[in-house]
Amino acid sequence: MSDVSTTKSMDDIMSLCKRRGFIYQASEIYGGVNGFWDYGPLGAQLKKNLRDAWWQDIVMNPCQGKPGPKGDPVSIVPVDTCIIQNPKVWEASGHVGGFNDPMVDCRETKSRYRADHLFCMGEKGDKSGQIYAFVENNDASFDAALKKLGKYKKKELTKDDIDICPLTDLSVDELAITVGPDAKEVGTLTEPRAFNLMFKTYLGATATEDDIAYLRPETAQGIFINFKNVVDTTRVSVPFGIAQTGKAFRNEVTPRNFTFRSREFEQMEIEFFCHAEEANDWYAFWRDWRMQWWQEIGLAGENLILREHDKDELAHYAKEGAGTSDIEYRFPFTAPGYGELEGIAHRSNYDLNAHQNHPDSNTKLEYLDTTRGELAKNGQPKGERYLPDVIEPSAGLDRGVLAILCEAYTPDPERPSKVFMKFHPRVAPIKAAVFPLVNKDGMPEKAAELHQLLVKKFGHLGKIETDPKQSIGKRYARMDEAGCPFCFTIDGDTLTDGTVTVRDRDTAEQKRIPFDDVVQFVATGLGLT
């Protein structure tokens, strides 16, 4: 277990991500584009492995066989819906009218802030002096504001000398005497304004107001609008879930913290439909199982927490009195605080109701549950029609990858690479590497044979690396930075006694095992046996 807050620097992690081809700035050769990131060869495979693990444990083998609250198997089916839908979908869901963040601009520095991320300080009891704004959760911003206030007051101030309040609590007059987090002048912050996060585009060539469409801000609505299709065309019955992964787009006011808050990102969402009477049990089930899943994929330790929402945090769709929780990770840039990886929300029947009642949808979305209702004369239930409640475990794939990168990053001054990536073998982008010690004397041929064997067996799970060049130390160092769990080296002895050297990434220990045991060794290491 590692405490990312004390031992790891985000700059170091980002630099390794660039150097080793995990993540690049999008459009880098043109100076980049704020809030967009591309994944390189290792990052693309890492991301695919995390998505595949989710798909396997949600769609193919729901909850790894763990039964639901009543002891029945959990039932989930997948869909893959469009990024662009009829714009009325987003009217009904509330996104066109209400998906807003409050935004504040600084006229001096041209910086833009989320108003709800800004806090202010002034000297205790002093109503007349300047007020200094700082970015919450950013120690440097707080310290700078405290220093500026001290300079203005001509005395050294500590935390005990100041009052703090959210910027959104300030009056217009108070805003006029506020100094922005990065500003020198007073009164350069604008009043908070609502900013809609939906990305607009136009359908067809004419590009008039009538042709406006939106890139989806969440994959969830594609599921809700297909609820009836899935019920009518498959043999699912409530309780069941519909799952999907895919891109979502939000025109974030302040994209920041590497991929954490991006404008284009990928989600992994489940909408789990159940009767309202069973919703609380399903909520607790999903909350606990999703936490366990993130732990099993490599985020076990104090950096991962499950946090129930306070009442005033509940989203507009959350049911009164029902639970909503976040699974949060302590990233180096949030430490000592945490950032959200996945939300588990009790959405009631808010969305199905909204789509059913939109004047243009014209579709009843009620479900006929033949297991419920009064008993008929024949002793069978008459059936009950209802809009199911929904429990929604909604995870961010890019945030998951980022948490896994931060957790895996392990400084080790003893190694030539000075760092290794301790990925859980299930998500490691390179599963194994095969190296001939030298590029001659029959070793490359033997290495090629083992490489082919491993590609055939495990190539569908990730890359099997082989590389005949450079010193063996350099090749191990590269694999340490890539997080490859096992390196196999073919040397002179392999040709005489049929053994190979295997090097363990986490301990850097080496031992010899028979060539013929390598496949079984990797299978065990990857948890496949």
Which residues of the shown chain bind ligand GAP in the complex (CB under 6 A)?
Answer: 218, 220, 250, 252, 261-262, 265, 267, 269, 340-343, 392, 394-396, 398-399
In angstroms, the Cα distances linking 274 to 129, 183, 221, 355, 388 are: 56, 52, 17, 18, 5
> Chain-centre distance of CA 116, in angstroms?
21
> To which residue do tokens 């007051």 refer?
153
What is the closest distance, in whole angstroms, from the C-beta atom of residue 428 to ligand GAP in the complex? 22
One DSSP character per residue, 360-378 reads: TT-----EEETTSS-B-TT
What is the closest distance, in whole angstroms, from the C-beta atom of residue 268 to ligand GAP in the complex? 9
Kindly calculate the radius of gyration of the chain based on its CA atoms and give it in whole angstroms.
27
What is the closest distance, in whole angstroms, from the C-beta atom of residue 308 to ligand GAP in the complex? 15
CB of 218 or CB of 480, closer to ligand GAP: 218
Beta bridge partners of 274: 389
Could you say which DSSP state residue 197 is in?
-
What is the closest distance, in whole angstroms, from the C-beta atom of residue 395 to ligand GAP in the complex? 6
CB of 80 or CB of 509, closer to ligand GAP: 80
What is the closest distance, in whole angstroms, from the C-beta atom of residue 14 to ligand GAP in the complex? 16
Phi, psi of 435 (to 5 degrees): -125, 130
Pairing of strands 23-25, 510-514: unpaired
> To which residue do tokens 């004369």 refer?
377
**What do you get for the CA distance between the two ends of the chain, in Å?**
25
Residue of minimal CB distance from ligand GAP?
396
What is the closest distance, in whole angstroms, from the C-beta atom of residue 20 to ligand GAP in the complex? 22
CA pair distance 23, 37, nearest whole angstrom: 7
Q: Give the full edge-to-edge strand order of the sheet including 193-196.
A: 112-114, 100-105, 193-196
What is the closest distance, in whole angstroms, from the C-beta atom of residue 281 to ligand GAP in the complex? 21
CB of 189 or CB of 335, closer to ligand GAP: 335
CB of 105 or CB of 342, closer to ligand GAP: 342
What is the closest distance, in whole angstroms, from the C-beta atom of residue 489 to ligand GAP in the complex? 40
What is the closest distance, in whole angstroms, from the C-beta atom of residue 451 to ligand GAP in the complex? 36
CB of 17 or CB of 500, closer to ligand GAP: 17
CA pair distance 342, 306, nearest whole angstrom: 10
CB of 326 or CB of 465, closer to ligand GAP: 326
Q: Is 462 exposed, middle or buried (0-12, 13-18, 19+ CB in 10 A)?
A: buried
Q: What is the 3-state secondary structure (H, E, C) of 175-192?
A: HCCEECCCCCCCCCECCC
Looking at this protein, which amino acid is placed at residue 199?
F
CA pair distance 490, 201, nearest whole angstrom: 56
CB of 218 or CB of 481, closer to ligand GAP: 218
What is the closest distance, in whole angstroms, from the C-beta atom of residue 521 to ligand GAP in the complex? 36
CB of 223 or CB of 487, closer to ligand GAP: 223
Q: Is the dihedral of CA 80, 82, 88, 91 positive or negative?
A: positive
What is the closest distance, in whole angstroms, from the C-beta atom of residue 36 to ligand GAP in the complex? 11
CB of 220 or CB of 242, closer to ligand GAP: 220
Beta bridge partners of 345: 324, 392
CA pair distance 99, 221, nearest whole angstrom: 14
CA pair distance 317, 469, nearest whole angstrom: 58
Burial call 144-157: b when 16+ CB within 10 Å, e when fewer? bbbebbbebeeeeb
The two three-digit tokens of residue 366, written as one number = 């009620």
CB of 342 or CB of 389, closer to ligand GAP: 342
Closest CA to 501 of 515, 516, 511: 511
Closest CA to 244 of 261, 260, 268, 265: 268
CB of 269 or CB of 407, closer to ligand GAP: 269
Answer whether 313's CB lies under 8 Å from 307's CB: no
CB of 256 or CB of 358, closer to ligand GAP: 256
CB of 269 or CB of 480, closer to ligand GAP: 269
CA pair distance 44, 46, nearest whole angstrom: 6
CA pair distance 247, 265, nearest whole angstrom: 5
What is the closest distance, in whole angstroms, from the C-beta atom of residue 179 to ligand GAP in the complex? 28
What is the closest distance, in whole angstroms, from the C-beta atom of residue 217 to ligand GAP in the complex? 7
